[in-house]
């Protein structure tokens, strides 16, 4: 009696890898199509991985990790131990756009309910505009701490001026954005806690 050769072992298990890929993608603000373009893995395949319907091969996992700006070890948590997750300064996930630099200080762990990010706004730069829709889920709250420079926060059109050392907490599911109208760069920390006001 002959038996068929066993298929090559997938990377990890579908339930474990899928939610992590989805959490990482969403934390970076990427759509499935965005990640497909960045990784070279098709959007349908990525969708199957995220839903736990299949596990990526080693080659596909390596591409997905690269698309998420991670090493394969970071994607699969091979370099994480216990319940402590350290992000080195040179490992921060960064996004840059029109004079706005965002650095994620917390790991995108599945089920995580709070995220901390460091923002740098060059003179004249903003995190968004008056017509932008809310970016955070209903019930979210955000606290921002100005580390240096001056900052203007606009929430539903109302302006709030902040200086170094000031902090502000507001409902993050309302339309809002930050602007630096000064002549020097502004740096601030943002802490977003999801679903705090849910009943």
Domains and CATH numbers, the chain: 14-75 (1.10.260.40), 89-193 (2.60.120.10)
What Å distances lie between residue 45 and 39, 42, 56, 172, CA to CA? 11, 5, 8, 33
Separation between Cα atoms, residue 11 and residue 14, nearest integer Å? 8
Mean pLDDT of 35-48: 93
DSSP string, 13-67: -HHHHHHHHHHHHHHTT--HHHHHHHHS--HHHHHHHHTTS----HHHHHHHHHH
pLDDT in tens, 78-97: 555 556 778 888 888 888 98
Q: What DSSP designation does 1 have? A: -
List Cβ neighbours of 181 (8 Å cut-off, separation of 6 or more).
Answer: 123, 124, 150, 152
**What does the pLDDT read at residue 146?**
97
Residue 84 is predicted with a pLDDT of 75
Average pLDDT estimate for 57-77: 85
Burial degree of 184 (CB within 10 A; 0-12, 13-18, 19+): exposed
User: Smallest Cα–Cα separation from 184: which of 125, 102, 97?
Assistant: 125
Check residue 140 and give left, alpha or beta (phi > 0: left; psi -120 to 50: alpha): beta
Query: Cα dihedral sign for 180, 112, 27, 73?
Result: positive
**Band of pLDDT at residue 162, cut at 50, 70 and 90:** very high
Give, to the nearest 10 degrees, the angle between helix 32-39 and helix 43-50: 110
141 and 198 Cβ atoms separated by less than 8 Å: no
> Taking all residues of the chain, what is their mean pLDDT, rounded to a whole number?
83
pTM of the model as a whole: 0.61
How far, in whole angstroms, is CA 133 from its chain's centroid? 17
**Adjacent-strand bridge partners of 160:** 153
pLDDT of the residue at 46? 93
């Amino acid at each position: 009696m002959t038996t068929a050769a066993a298929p090559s072992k997938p990377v990890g298990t579908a339930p474990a890898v899928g939610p992590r890929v989805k959490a990482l993608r969403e934390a970076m603000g990427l759509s499935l199509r965005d990640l497909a373009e960045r990784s070279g893995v098709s959007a349908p395949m990525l969708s199957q991985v995220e839903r736990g319907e299949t596990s990526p091969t080693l080659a596909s996992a390596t591409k997905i990790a690269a698309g998420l700006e991670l090493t394969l070890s970071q994607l699969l948590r091979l370099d994480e131990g216990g319940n402590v997750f350290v992000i080195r300064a040179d490992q921060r996930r960064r996004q840059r756009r029109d004079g706005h630099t965002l650095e994620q200080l917390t790991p995108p762990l599945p089920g995580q309910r709070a995220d901390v990010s460091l923002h740098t706004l060059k003179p004249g730069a903003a995190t968004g505009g008056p017509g932008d829709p809310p970016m955070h889920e209903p019930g979210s709250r955000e606290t921002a701490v100005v580390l240096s420079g001056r900052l203007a926060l606009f929430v539903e059109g109302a302006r709030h001026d902040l200086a170094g050392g000031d902090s502000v907490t507001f409902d993050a599911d309302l339309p809002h954005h930050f602007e630096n109208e000064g002549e020097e760069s502004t740096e601030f920390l943002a802490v977003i806690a999801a679903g705090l006001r849910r009943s």
